[in-house]
Structure 1
Amino acid sequence: MAEVGDDVYREDPTARRLEERVAEITGKEAALFVPSGTMGNQIALLCHTQRGDEVVVGEGAHCAYYESGAGAAWSGVQFEVAGRGGLFTAAELEAVIKAPAYYMPRTRVVALENTHNRAGGVVFPEDEVHAIAQVARAHGLAMHLDGARLWNASVATGRAVAALAAPFDTVSVCFSKGLGAPVGSALCGSAETIAAALRFRKMLGGGMRQIGVLAAAALYALDHHVERLFEDHAAAKVIAAALRDVAGAWVPAPETNLVMVDTPGIPAARFVEAAERRGVRVSAFGPHRTRICTHLDLPREEVLRVAEVLVEALREANAEASAGMGAGTSAGTVG
């Protein structure tokens, strides 16, 4: 049972406990519950920018790639990509910052994603984050962290969430990915920023009433599902090792819970369909790239069986491709 109240009036005690807890974990002054990570990211952009400003992101960043053009629609910003593969360096940031000329967009925010979804759950190197932050501060830029999978980065590195979040003005964290809560994220930052965020949340339709029932689930996830994330990372390594033996597949070693499978000669859609027929769901991330995500609903005792099923599915897809059958279609997947 969750003790609830009207959160539009800031009277939900369970929501307050969650926000205080997350602010403490991230090392920020305040936090605000939001229904989704997309809303958290977009509120951060609204807090940091004005229309016509520019946000620097890594290639394939969620806030630019998977949020329905919301940055352009709500904040009126454009995105500049630094680096390749989701990560970038301080020098690559410096290279894309616009000069302070009236005829150029104003670079205002640097947004990092840690871990990076489309890059395969890679952890943004901490030394590089600090170097990027130094460049950003020198240019008067705000720093935002899309930390939907920051819990995974913390477990993988052994670094506290607050340490990973320290260089950033705002941080969004998610309760419904690796932690397995049914819904919800939080935006964290200074008390002044979160006060502004509260108004933007209401504008975007995120002001809800008795949200304690959702906050209670998030609190449970924080208590019970963080330390076990290493199991997901271990499962990803097992699956990656098995798939690496399949001809035609290139599988980088996963750093966290995402396995990326590149198959230049095999349509990803075929692999997805073959796995689906065997009861395992994976996601096409391009014509020849597939993402596999391990999570708390995959028991340890099932990991080897799932790896075997995926090997069978990939071999079937490979055989079909070699036989010259139709390629099918691939679809992007939000995650």
Structure 2
Amino acid sequence: MNENKMIVDLRSDTVTRPTPGMLEAMFSAKVGDDVFEEDETVNALQEKTAAIFGMEDALFCPSGTMTNQIAIKRFTNPMEEVICDETAHVYRYEGGGIAYNSMASVRLLYGDRGRLSAELIEPHINPDNVHYPKSSLVILENTVNRGGGSFYTLDQIEPIYHLCRLKNIYLHLDGARIFNALAESLDDPKEYGRMFDGISVCLSKGLGAPVGSVLLGSRETIYHARRIRKALGGGWRQAGYLAAAGIYALDHHIDRLKTDHKNAKTLAETLISLPFVSSIMPADTNIVIFELDKKHNPDEFVEKLKHHGVKCNTFGKQMIRFVTHLDISDDQIGYTLDVLKKMH
């Protein structure tokens, strides 16, 4: 048992709970039936998110998995191929949805902490040959979850954009933590809207909303996306209560993401000095991934931390992941560091 009664939940930034201000916004939301496109708060969220990225239209969905899967369905046909990194969320953590929903194959590449480049992608674009699936879609992830929160800058994305245009291939962004990336790169989000055919923006991670993601694209893309969402069971009714949380998050929780990044760096700086840590990924944003030495069993290590009130997850062989978020205070970071220093 945790005798100090302090609980520090570093398992994911999805564990956040609505702030008092967010709850107030949710309770006062004006709602309608979103399937009829009559929920004015949902419409406002979609318009707001599209405007941030300079895109024509948007669609509010229950999850980032759904927005990604809708985009893949929209941008591919059966017997075509998706190109992504082998660590990509769309490949590893969406239940085989690419095959199940879109009947597309996947070409896996091995990037730099999950980040691809035009030079890496180009040799893997299939020629027009009956033996090969047509290369139809490239997917980037920003930030990269399994890359320890690594992120792309626009300078890195632009050559990929030009390659996709040259080869007549769609380009989609799994932007589950896009605002974490923007907080560090300081890039203009409207430039993302210029380069990507689709962007998935998650509201329930670093931004702290209880649920929901928004798919951005052209009016034609979102028209088709709405039909796909309906077929997937994602047509919801008075969703404005949830959309209000998303609007509040966009208005109040973007600027504070740098605090999460600072806390992640603080954790990383201590971890690298501890004897049981053999390596650690750079803490670029709000994710800290470190490797335990071979003397430590990662499952037992997680249980020991849990005993002291610090929750986290294993993340592969000998790997542990911490994720900072808006429900983690300076005191909790200090407490976690004290616990880690006493581990052996």
What TM-score, normalized by structure 1, do the two folds share?
Answer: 0.91
Q: Report the AA paired with residue 338 of structure 2.
A: E
Select the structure with the greater relative contact order (CA < 8 A; seq sep ≥ 6).
2
Range moving further from structure 2, 263-272 or 249-258: 263-272
Range moving further from structure 2, 159-168 or 142-151: 159-168
Q: Is the 8 A contact 2:77 2:102 kept in 1?
A: yes
Aligned to 1:108: 136
The verdict on how the C-alpha distance between 1:161 and 1:310 changes in structure 2, with shifts beyond 3 A counting, is farther
- The counterpart of 2:84, out of the listed 57, 63, 76, is 57
Q: Report the AA paired with residue 335 of structure 2.
A: R
Q: Is the 8 A contact 2:153 2:187 kept in 1?
A: no
- The counterpart of 2:268, out of the listed 219, 240, 248, is 240
Q: Is the 8 A contact 1:109 1:143 kept in 2?
A: yes
Deviations 1:225-268 (A, max 9, x none): 11000000000000001111111411232110000111241332
1:161 Cα shift? 2.3
Deviations 1:137-185 (A, max 9, x none): 1110000000010010011111232234431110000000000100000
Q: Report the AA paired with residue 326 of structure 2.
A: L
Q: Is the 8 A contact 2:57 2:219 kept in 1?
A: yes
How does 1:219-230 map onto structure 2 within 5 Å?
A: 219-230=247-258
Q: Is the 8 A contact 1:55 1:111 kept in 2?
A: yes
Q: Does 1:260 find its partner at 2:289?
A: yes
Aligned length: 314
1:17, 1:9 → 2: CA distance? 15
Structure 2 residues without counterparts, runs of 5 or longer? 1-27
Classify the secondary structure of the residue corresponding to 2:108: strand
1:301 Cα shift? 3.1
Q: Does 1:123 find its partner at 2:148?
A: no
1:271, 1:301 → 2: CA distance? 22
Classify the secondary structure of the residue corresponding to 2:331: helix
Q: Report the AA paired with residue 290 of structure 1.
A: I
Q: Is the 8 A contact 2:199 2:215 kept in 1?
A: yes
Aligned to 1:298: 328
The verdict on how the C-alpha distance between 1:198 and 1:232 changes in structure 2, with shifts beyond 3 A counting, is same
The verdict on how the C-alpha distance between 1:242 and 1:135 changes in structure 2, with shifts beyond 3 A counting, is same
Aligned to 1:43: 70
Q: Report the AA paired with residue 329 of structure 2.
A: P
Deviations 1:35-88 (A, max 9, x none): 000000000011100011110001210011100001100100111112333112
Aligned to 1:309: 339
Aligned to 1:275: 305
How does 1:153-302 map onto structure 2 within 5 Å?
A: 153-249=181-277, 250-265=279-294, 266-302=296-332
How does 1:316-327 map onto structure 2 within 5 Å?
A: 316=344
1:208, 1:294 → 2: CA distance? 31
Q: Is the 8 A contact 1:252 1:260 kept in 2?
A: yes
Deviations 1:181-221 (A, max 9, x none): 00000000000000000000000000010000000011111
Q: CA RMSD in A?
A: 1.2
Q: Report the AA paired with residue 181 of structure 2.
A: A
- The counterpart of 1:9, out of the listed 36, 41, 47, is 36
Aligned to 2:3: none
The verdict on how the C-alpha distance between 1:140 and 1:209 changes in structure 2, with shifts beyond 3 A counting, is same
2:293, 2:247 → 1: CA distance? 43
Classify the secondary structure of the residue corresponding to 1:146: strand
2:148, 2:139 → 1: CA distance? 18
The verdict on how the C-alpha distance between 1:126 and 1:311 changes in structure 2, with shifts beyond 3 A counting, is farther
2:165, 2:44 → 1: CA distance? 32
Q: Is the 8 A contact 2:148 2:282 kept in 1?
A: no
Q: Is the 8 A contact 1:59 1:81 kept in 2?
A: yes
Aligned to 1:145: 173
- The counterpart of 2:160, out of the listed 121, 127, 132, is 132
1:264, 1:165 → 2: CA distance? 43
2:206, 2:287 → 1: CA distance? 11
Q: Report the AA paired with residue 110 of structure 1.
A: V
Aligned to 1:329: none
Q: Is the 8 A contact 1:31 1:186 kept in 2?
A: yes
Classify the secondary structure of the residue corresponding to 2:311: coil
